[in-house]
């Protein structure tokens, strides 16, 4: 019997709706597998927690997370309660950085039964590999408050180590897929970091002669995402470019509510963290209509991470059978609630088991 200790952090807004839904699904996965159980511990760290404690997590919060096999997070942020940069840097970004979750994997592909806003998206099946610990997201900078000369400076940080690491990750991933890596750059306008990024991309590409490459400026690349989605496989991007491309990828899939993501710790010292691409969606919170698929697909990425790819693939097949039958939340044009979509996924998972496919 394998037991995985998971720290659940529902966070804010719809995080509190979709995390319990995905936990129900994971517990069903466990029931049908027989040899795998999840031991969830839930932490209430959120903007509401901040209002009470003046911090997003307790002082020993990171130590408490350290011994878990992984972290399963919903969303963080409620700007009516706490400014976003405080809540995010106090919880989500803090965990990514302090646990060396330096790679952020964000797949996007068109699912059967989910209408994309684009005409010919069926070949859209990409993975954004986002640098997750440096780049444009830095704590280096400052403000000068000086009347009409008021100024804010924000530095971007690109280390050779971090850049090589994310690029190698992208090439290794492409080797298992369609064997193409696109680098998202902007070396025509950004004078230091992006020429450096390009130089390292060329160096790493030489290590992988079997992988074809191209390099696109982020503006043109964004346009090609829309007009020529089939030309992409793996895209390697800086922290900010990867953030933007992954929402664009999610939109091409149909809506941001279905997009999954994984923050991977590559040095094996700390747990990895799994969270969907979307945020706390304040505009729909409490209505019971949040799309649970992003969080449930994120659970599939967690299963893959633990070497349970067969179970992960079964889960994704079940999700797609549900979307294919039009059992969708309103963001995808459907009429169903979070609960109805989740229960349908659970019901079909159990049906797969009854056919004996996964009983062990």
Q: Which residues bind ligand NAD (CB under 6 A)?
A: 14, 18, 75-77, 79, 84, 88, 92, 256-257, 275, 278-284, 290-291, 294, 329, 331
Q: Minimum CB separation from ligand IPM for residue 347, in Å? A: 31
Residue 129 phi, psi (nearest 5): -105, 110
CA distance 76 to 87: 7
Nearer to ligand IPM, 81 or 351 (CB): 81
Nearer to Mn ion, 243 or 275 (CB): 243
Nearer to ligand IPM, 101 or 213 (CB): 101
Nearer to Mn ion, 55 or 97 (CB): 97
Note whether 131 binds ligand IPM by CB under 6 A: no
Nearest to 334, CA basis, from 74, 123, 111, 24: 111
Q: Minimum CB separation from Mn ion for residue 37, in Å? A: 32
> What does the per-residue mask of binding to ligand IPM show for 250-289, with x meaning CB under 6 A?
---------------------------x-x----------
Nearer to ligand NAD, 318 or 341 (CB): 341
Contact between 342 and 288 (Cβ < 8 Å): no
DSSP 199: H
Reported in sequence order, the residue ranges of the chain that DSSP labels E, i.e. its strands, are: 2-11, 36-42, 70-75, 103-109, 125-131, 141-144, 151-154, 180-185, 212-217, 234-237, 262-264, 272-274
Size of the site for ligand IPM (CB under 6 A): 6
Nearer to Mn ion, 243 or 353 (CB): 243
- From the centroid of its chain, how far is CA 102? 13
Among 14, 21, 47, 88, binds ligand IPM (CB under 6 A): 88
Q: Minimum CB separation from ligand IPM for residue 114, in Å? A: 20
Tokens 């969708």 belong to residue = 328
Half-sphere exposure in the Cβ direction for 210 (13 Å, CA): 9
Note whether 243 binds ligand IPM by CB under 6 A: yes
CA distance 320 to 318: 5
Residue 187 phi, psi (nearest 5): -80, -5
Among 243, 275, 304, 308, binds Mn ion (CB under 5 A): 243
Q: Which residues bind ligand IPM (CB under 6 A)?
A: 77, 88, 93, 243, 277, 279
Interface residue list for Mn ion (CB under 5 A)? 243
């Amino acid at each position: 019997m394998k037991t995985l200790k998971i720290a659940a952090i529902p966070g804010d807004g719809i995080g509190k709706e979709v995390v319990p839904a995905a936990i129900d699904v994971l517990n069903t996965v466990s029931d049908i597998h027989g040899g795998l159980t999840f031991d969830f511990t839930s932490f209430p760290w959120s903007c509401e927690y901040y209002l009470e404690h003046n911090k997003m997590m307790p002082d020993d919060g990171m130590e408490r997370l350290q011994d878990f096999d992984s972290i399963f997070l919903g969303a963080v942020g409620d700007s009516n309660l706490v400014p976003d940069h405080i809540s995010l840097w106090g919880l989500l970004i803090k965990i990514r950085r302090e646990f060396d979750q330096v790679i952020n994997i964000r797949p996007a592909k068109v699912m059967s039964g989910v209408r994309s806003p684009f005409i010919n998206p069926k070949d859209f099946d990409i993975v954004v590999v986002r640098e997750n610990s440096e780049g444009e997201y830095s704590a280096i900078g400052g403000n000068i408050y000086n009347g009409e000369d008021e100024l804010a400076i924000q530095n971007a940080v690109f280390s050779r180590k971090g850049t090589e690491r994310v690029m190698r990750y992208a090439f290794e991933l492409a080797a298992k897929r369609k064997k193409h890596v696109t680098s998202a750059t902007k070396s025509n306008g950004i004078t230091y970091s992006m020429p450096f990024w390009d130089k390292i991309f060329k160096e790493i590409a030489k290590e992988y002669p079997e992988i074809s490459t191209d390099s696109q400026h982020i503006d043109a690349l964004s346009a090609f995402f829309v007009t020529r989605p089939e030309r992409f496989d793996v895209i390697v991007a800086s922290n900010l470019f990867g953030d933007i491309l992954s929402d664009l990828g999610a939109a091409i899939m149909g809506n941001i509510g279905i997009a999954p993501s994984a923050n991977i710790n590559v040095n094996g010292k700390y747990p990895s963290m799994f969270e969907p691409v979307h945020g706390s969606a304040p505009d729909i919170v409490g209505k019971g209509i949040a799309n649970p698929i992003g969080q449930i697909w994120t659970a599939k990425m967690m299963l893959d991470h633990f070497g349970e790819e067969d179970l992960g693939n079964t889960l994704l097949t079940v999700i797609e059978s549900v979307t294919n039958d039009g059992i969708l939340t309103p963001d995808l044009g459907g009429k169903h609630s979070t609960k109805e979509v989740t229960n349908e996924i659970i019901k079909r998972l159990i049906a797969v088991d009854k056919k004996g496919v996964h009983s062990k």
